[in-house]
A and B are shown apart, each in its own frame.
Chain A
Amino acid sequence: MKKKSEANKKKLNPFEVHINREKLKVLGKKSKHDRGLPGVSRAKAIKKRKETLGVEMKVMNKTNAFIDRRIGEKNNQLSAEDRMIARFAAERAKQHSKKNIYNLADDEILTHRGQTLEQIEKFDDPRSDEEDDDFEKKFGGLDNDFVSEGHFGGGILSKTDAQDGAKSHKDLIEQLIAESKKRKAEKQKEKEQTLDLTEKLDSEWKDLQPVVFKKARVEEESVIDKVLSKAEKGQDYDKMMRELRFEKRGTPSDGLKSTEKQEAEERKKLEELEKQRQLRMLSEEEAAVPNRSQPTAKHRSADDLDDNFELDDERDFMLAYDKDGKPLVPEQVLKDFSVPNAKPKFDDGISDTSSEDDGEDESDEEASDDEAADAENKSIEKKKEQDIEIRDQQQDISSSDNDDDENQSSEEENTEEYKQSQAQILSEVNGISNKDVRSEETKEDEEEGSDDEAGSDDEQSVKGNEFDNLEDLKESKEESEVEDEHEEESKETIESFFDLKAEEGVKLKELLTGKSPSQQSAALQKLIKSYDPSQSANNKELLSRLFAHLLQYVNDLFHGLKDEGGALKSFLMYDKLLPHFYDLAHTNKVSAKRFICELLKEKHDKYTKSPRKVPDLDTLVFFKLISAIYPTSDFRHPVTTPSVLFMCEILTSCRFRDAYSISRGLFLVSLILEYTALSKRYAPAAVNFLRGLLYLSADTSVLNPVQVVPPFKLHGAEKVLRLERECTSLSAGDRMSSADLVADSLGERFKVNCLYNSVLMLREYFDNCCDMEAQGAIFEPHIKLMDRIDLDLYPKKVAKAVKEVARHMKATLEVKTYTPLARERKRPKALRLYEPDIQEVFTGSKSSKLSREKAEKARLESKYKKEMKGALREIRRDKAYIASVKIRQKIQSDIIRKDKVKQIYKDASIQQGELNKLKRMK
């Protein structure tokens, strides 16, 4: 073909060339249509039409057609062999159809000596494989020596010469036969032995099976299986096969995390929570600040009319690929496009997301709670599973007993074994529970819980277990009988704890009184565990009630304390109880909050009745509780904010004149310090109180007074904290103690300790305010007051501390700088300018300006137009071709008709001539 075209080109007839005149010359533009060969191309087109349209016309209105599809049949260049190869290749290729590209040799049927493998494989006797092709099979199992002697006639001659009485040929043959028979018998025997062994092994395996796969199968057995097994009773092969096939596989679970990993996760979680806490510390205004600079300059088109009309092609991008075929677009953009609006985005950031986070956080926490609960439950479940398994085994055994008559004897043996093993397991369980009881820990309760949950179906067995346990207990643990009694007693109370609503409080008291703090804690723990919310729906509610009762209990604990021992004991108990408050509050956040708020309200109401008197410890200790449960650093919190306000109110409006009020005041100040430790907030009430205390211990005359803030008064009030005599030898200078809270007189020691601690706290408050310019204004009076304290009277340690704090405060204030408050410099607002719309990939097409859909549409439309034009043209040409063909046919048929007419005329004229001739002859 190429040669032909080349030849064509060579003898290009100049008359055939048609040159298209160019009207406008564009530089760099390649023109395809500057010259053409109209004759040639027309001929081409006609030829093409002849091959397609012409053929079609020919077969038009004809029903049958013969198509020869044999490969290479029409190609005469191929030899016969080539054709065969091509056809074989096509056949093979056909086999690799799409549906089994991975199944390479599946459809090929392999044959062996004409038989397919399937025909050979009958699995009749799988054991007979190796024995048959033993060593030296080639001679039908004959000995080497016999072969060497008897074959090829070689032996006869030599043997006849032998002196030991030569055997005849017949003898030899007989010997041979006997030998082979003997060997066959031996082999047979051996075979039977192995068969027996295999069978035995099989049966033993069957027995062992349930032990090896320790999964409860009762539930898993599907209905179909049951039906099948009923239908095919006795067919143990099928049964076993199915069992093997449907053997429960281990469910995939999260891999055990290594301790480091767990720790890391824990740490990460805590960090996250800490971050959130710090966010909450900011007020709304502060939180809003960092976000202000977020919005970036948006592109503005030169055609922007400033009518806030948003073009929605913000997310449009040009998809382009690099030379490796990877998209040039960043991953996340692609992702965004594939999953549009997968995640809502908030522009104003923190406020919204924080709330979202809060939700998440909560759910997270809950999830973690759940996890914890799960972990607890797991152990319960394990035991339960064991129980169930044991029962399953029993059931299995009994059923198989019934079913398999023929195997009864062996089965019986097995059941014996099982009973033994079961007993072992049971005893193990008992052992565990015994251990539990010994360690006085929670596991027993877990077991109880599991028992509760497992409900009535295994009640009996468990009860039996329990009795066993108790008996065991009594036998094994006489030495700690007292505790045991406690245990039982408390267990009874626990079990019936929530039976009567009215008696819960009493019962709690019953449960907790007369025990050491740690025993109390253990009992409580047990109580809480046995009503774990994961076990029953209303346990959550019960536990929240328990929370309320515990609050009441603590209230009673601290009510009307008079002596030091009582206070100490109460605090020790409180110390142990506090973690439980935390747990309970976490189980039901809403109700815990409600209870605490109600408590606060009640206490506050009580306080407002006599606002000059400092509330007793039964109010104050709850502030400690709140700080343990709730975050104190939040800007605003439903619980901590009211409580801190309450404390401030006490400190600002109460009268502080005696040991009772001053010690409680100091306690409150330390609590407020704790509340503000993280957030570094400023609590005027506490600072003023410290100022008052310093005032009470300082020497101030009427002539040069240092001002104090109410509730302390400049005049009239007695300076109760001033030391009257020298106490340098006093070994004070320690932390305040619980004894100070119940002291009824202001002793020297009390005074000294008071000053010591208040000065130390003052320092902390001072440091909290370090970044404030107003620090000086706040703490100036304190410094003055500290200078007026007669330190010579105090023990050295205290005097030193006071001096040190004063020095520190002075030094800090000395170097303090004051920057005038200035508004945050705002960047001058730039004139709005039109920026060029820079596209990363420039195509030059106008359509790139359009949106994606529009561009696509325009492209398709233009393509459609073009194609339409072309198609119409083609159709026109086709029509012309068909017309030409038809006219040609018509002309041809006309010619033929004319010829025929001529012929007819000719014949007729001849006939006429002959007739005329005849007529003439007549």
Chain B
Amino acid sequence: MVSAQLRNKANEFLNSRKHANNLADILQMFDAETDNYTPLLLTIEVIFTELLKRGDLVQEIIPLKPIEHSPESEYTRWLHECYEAALARCLECIRRGRTSSRLQALVTACKLLQAEGRHPLETANGYYFPSVRLKNIFNVLLDSEISMSAPIARFQEFTEYKDVQQYGLKVLATMGYKKTPSTIYMQNYLELMDKLLATEIPTEYKNKAKDREEEKEEKVLCAAEGRPSFVYHATICRRQANRCWGFACQWALCEEPRAHRRALLLLVERLMPLLSRPHLATDMLCDSLDAGGPISMLALQGVLELVRRHNIDYPDMYDRLYAMFEPEMFATRYKRRLIHLADIFLSSTHLPEGLVAAFAKRLSRLALVASPEDAISLLQLVANLLLRHPALKRMICYEDTPAIMSADPYVMEETSAVGARALGSSLWEVSALRRHVAPAVASAAARVLAAADQRAAPLALAPPDAAMFDAELKKRFKTIEMNFMRPQGLALPVAAERVAHYWQLTA
């Protein structure tokens, strides 16, 4: 109803100037509304996009000439004022109301930005991007009190445009400096930066021909026909990104775990290849590595990057990795990342056998307590270790005459992987997992033990298949086996009854 009325009003306004007051009415209605601004936002979006397209907002300012006071120019000026007011309202709405309307406010702001970029208010030579508007939007998004993760996530659809990315980084770099920001601000900042870097910035050593091909597909937000096209400068982007990160580095990121995690994620996922002097991040990464838990897992990836690309030598790297494999890792979100990283770390064939054996042992110990899905990926990792390091085969098939031991020589509590004496041990855990309740785990364990026979290439770790339950349900069976003893009640007739031993349900 409301939206229909509004649409009528907007149409009337756009059709004739007689209904000019409608615009004022609509802007007034922002005050009345508290929760859902979506229809209003849509209406002003429609109105001003149309106006911008028509060019009604363009004020002809001729330098050194007094301002005209013709009704025409008055109207234009009034429209301009309304436009500014509407933009201000719109930005306000990003902070308020329900989530959907906040998101809509952001989208409206961006759409208006786009319209303005296409139909600039002032004639300009070259490519025009309304950076001021973007700055306004960023100002709202980088709030110090309210977490803006939802609008920022929505903003990602605009950062795909190359011009938004470039100008956005530029704008962000200008406004990043802040002495002691609040944690919320930090998070918003990091998130926004993360989103701005979501599309990969091509690095220097990429093929130029390839670049050219990509340029054709580039999306530009404010492109308009008949005007010079946008030129994308990857170097500028990189420089700006470095500047942005430079500001962020000076903050106390490591105080608050969430911000810390986000910063690490940003660094590891997006920034590492862009940084001009990545070794400067070493300190931060090393500190994070010592922090333990998921933070160190994230830092690990950064360190791996440093070690691989930038020749940084890190002491006790493998012991740290070894220490990360604890039962707590199953509760974290980054367990798959950790397993993947461990696979990369341990793929070096120059590692001492004892170390890899300790890893294999520890991984299989963990698989003993893991959920079926985790157990499968751990077992896959163990299988890869066995395939890459043939010396480990003695852990699954002991060649000498098997001497019966009275205890497992492996020491789980030992922090150093080399000192865990794992080579003398066997992978009994894997053999125990052959009797896992989940048939998939059981067969995975059997495959690990069979790895000694073949010389297969190590497999890439399987993608997360969280829905083992669904997979089992989908399996087809030739026959449906049934019990052959009729139960007389809750208790099973066979010796299998256990619930009744511990539960007195019917009396």
A binding-site residues for B, Cβ under 8 Å = 270, 273, 277, 280, 283-285, 355, 358-359, 361-362, 365, 568, 571-572, 574-576, 578-579, 582-583, 585-586, 589-590, 593, 597, 600-601, 604, 624, 627-639, 641-642, 644-646, 648-649, 652-653, 666-667, 670-685, 687-688, 707-711, 713-714, 734-738, 757, 760-761, 764, 769, 772-778, 816-823
Q: Are B371 and A677 in contact (CB under 8 A)?
A: no
CB-CB under 8 A from B435, the residues of chain A are: 679-682, 772
A711 and B408 contacting across the interface, CB-CB below 8 Å = no
A684 touches B489 (CB 8 A): no
Which A residue's beta carbon lies closest to that of B443?
Answer: A283
Residues of A within 8 A of B368 (CB): 684, 774, 777-778
B465-507 residues with Cβ-Cβ distance < 8 A to A are 468-470, 472-473, 475, 477-490, 492, 494-499, 501-507
Instruction: Say yes or no for B452: interface residue by CB 8 A criterion.
Output: yes
Q: Do B397 and A734 have beta carbons less than 8 Å apart?
A: no
Question: Do A285 and B437 touch across chains, with their CB atoms under 8 A apart?
Answer: no
- Closest CB pairs A-B (n = 5): A773-B428, A820-B398, A710-B331, A674-B498, A774-B432
Q: How many angstroms between the C-alpha atoms of A633 and B481 in the bound complex?
A: 11
Determine the distance from Cα of A629 to Cα of B483 in the docked complex, in whole angstroms: 5
A630-B482 CB under 8 A given contacts A604-B469, A764-B498: yes
| Given A571-B490, A636-B475, A818-B406, A685-B371 contact (CB < 8 Å) | yes
Please give, as numbers and ranges, the residues of chain A lying within 8 Å of B482 by CB-CB distance.
365, 585-586, 589, 629-631
In the complex, the chain B residue whose C-beta lies closest to that of A821 is B426
- Closest B-chain residue to A815, C-beta based? B406
Closest to A594 in B: B480
For residue B330, CB closer than 8 A to chain A, the reply is yes
Distance between B500 CB and nearest chain A CB, rounded to angstroms: 8
**Is B6 close to A, CB under 8 A?**
no
Interfacial chain A residues near B365, Cβ < 8 Å = 777
What count of chain B residues pass the 8 Å CB interface test? 80
Asked whether, in the complex, the Cβ of B502 is within 8 Å of the Cβ of A736, the reply is yes
CB neighbours (8 Å) of B484 from chain A are 270, 273, 365
Q: B428 — nearest CB in chain A belongs to which residue?
A: A773
Q: Tell yes or no: B326 within 8 A of A by CB.
A: yes
Contacts of B190 in A (CB 8 A): none
Residue B124 CB within 8 A of the other chain? no
Chain A residues with Cβ under 8 A from B489's Cβ? 575-576, 578-579
Q: Determine if B396 and A821 form an interchain contact, defined as CB atoms under 8 angstroms apart.
A: yes
Q: Are A648 and B504 within 8 A (Cβ)?
A: no
**Using Cβ atoms and an 8 Å threshold, which residues of chain A touch B431?**
772-774, 821
Residues of A within 8 A of B395 (CB): 821
Interchain CB contact under 8 A, B469 and A645:
yes
Q: Measured between C-beta atoms, what is the minimum distance from B362 to chain A in Å?
A: 11
Q: Assess the B372–A757 pair: CB atoms within 8 A.
A: no
Q: Is the CB of B428 within 8 A of A774?
A: yes
| Chain A to chain B contacts (Cβ below 8 Å), 19 pairs | A631-B481, A633-B496, A638-B480, A641-B472, A641-B475, A649-B469, A674-B497, A674-B498, A679-B435, A713-B331, A738-B503, A772-B435, A774-B428, A778-B369, A818-B404, A820-B402, A821-B431, A823-B397, A823-B453
| In the bound complex, CA of A583 to CA of B453 (Å) | 48
B85 to chain A, nearest CB (A): 44
Residues from chain A with a CB closer than 8 A to the CB of B363 are: none
Name the one of A641, A677, A761, A819 contacting B439, with C-beta atoms under 8 angstroms: A641
CA distance A586 to B365 in the complex (A): 42
Contact pick for B501, options A277, A735, A775, A778, CB 8 Å: A735
Partner of B406, one of A629, A638, A817: A817
Task: For B328, list chain A residues within 8 Å (CB).
Answer: 710, 714
Bound CA span A362–B479, Å: 8
CB-CB under 8 A from A666, the residues of chain B are 502
Contacts A642-B472, A820-B405, A821-B398 given; does A648 touch B438 at CB 8 Å: yes
Checking B468, B478, B485, B499 against A645 with a beta-carbon cut-off of 8 angstroms, the contacting residue is B468
Instruction: Evaluate whether A738 and B502 lie within 8 angstroms (CB atoms) in the complex, with A270-B484, A574-B490, A683-B437 already known.
Output: no
B478 touches A710 (CB 8 A): no
Additional 9 contacts, C-beta under 8 A, given A575-B505, A684-B375: A568-B505, A574-B490, A575-B489, A642-B469, A648-B438, A681-B436, A709-B330, A776-B407, A777-B429
Q: Smallest distance from the beta carbon of A463 to chain B beta carbons, Å? A: 35
Q: Closest CB-CB distance, A687 to chain B, in whole Å?
A: 8
| Any A CB within 8 A of the CB of B327 | yes
Determine which of B327, B426, B481, B494 lies in contact with A280 in the assembled complex, contact meaning CB atoms within 8 Å.
B481
